[in-house]
Amino acid sequence: MRVPVTDLLSSAVREFAAEPPFRDYVDPDRLLVVGVRGRRGPHGKRAACHFTRFRETGERISADGRWEFPRLTFGGHDIRYVISFVLPRFLFLEPREQAEDIVHELLHVDPSFGGWSSPLRHGARYDSRVRALARAALDRGLAVPPLAAPGDTVLYRRLRPFPHPLRRRDRAAQWTYDDDDLETAALHLDPKDREPPPPRYLYRCPSCETLYPRQRPLRMASCGDCASGYDARFKLKLVRGSRGSDESKGERREQGRGR
């Protein structure tokens, strides 16, 4: 029987959590690792850290009393944090990137280990801290083991529905999760899922004719070779793609949320 990649990732997270500064406050028994399916291609979210308590209240119930996190009990432990890895995207990353993503998510764990987010904000300082901690761990010999190769079919564990906060009024929602809710799924790693999807929009400079493939529509954009700032004379012309509004909202939301 093949070992699910989420089990390998769980072991890797455990090892990184045993490094400074995480070893001072992360309890790996109360941190759950799962997989979630993502869109193909290299762009977008690769992993996420999910919380189980609201920072404002320190409880599962929100300050306004309208939202509540479900109760998560796995392996007999009251789970405080869930780290999800976006598959297959995460599996195609370089080992160094995988290590940095694990460190990135662990930095979202509050030093109280209370179940809410750490006060650190995304940004250049966050990223440089991630790189420094990952490098230090790798220098000490830690490594993310090879997880899978393109062409493999892997198993992973997932939670469906995902345990996001629920409206307290919604008594029919799933309010408790335990080991029985971890389902095992299979995923074929198609090598072409590693590549970005073909561009949906193609623009051309009216002057030098340079082509600009884009996933999203451009509005006020001029040719970077012909103009330094925006210049209407070199405004890029749409040569392929629609001006319609069928842009995937899901993708925009995914990118806006960061990882």
Binding site for Zn ion (CB under 5 A): 205, 207-208, 223, 225-226
Q: 31 vs 205, which CB is nearer to Zn ion?
A: 205
Q: Report which of 253, 251, 223 is spatially closest to residue 43, judged by C-alpha positions.
A: 251
Nearer to Zn ion, 83 or 147 (CB): 83
**178 or 225: CB nearest Zn ion:** 225
Q: How far is the CB of 124 from Zn ion (least distance, A)?
A: 14
DSSP strand pairing (67-68 vs 166-167)? antiparallel
Task: State the Cα angle at 213 between 209 and 217, rounded to 5°.
Answer: 105
Tell the smallest beta-carbon distance from residue 96 to Zn ion (Å). 17
What residues are paired with 49 via a beta bridge? Answer: 83
CB of 223 to Zn ion, least distance (A): 3
CB of 164 to Zn ion, least distance (A): 16
Nearer of residues 6 and 84 to Zn ion, judged by Cβ: 84
Indicate the residue among 103 and 223 with the shorter CB distance to Zn ion: 223
Give one DSSP letter per residue of 6-63, joined into a string: HHHHHHHHHHHHTSTTGGGT--GGGEEEEEEE--SSS-S--EEEEESS-TTTSSSB-T
Report the distance separating Cα 231 and Cα 69, nearest Å: 50
Q: Which of 237, 231, 230, 242 is nearest to 205 (CA)?
A: 237
What is the nearest approach in angstroms of Zn ion to the Cβ of residue 118? 10
Q: Which residue has the tokens 């929100």?
A: 62
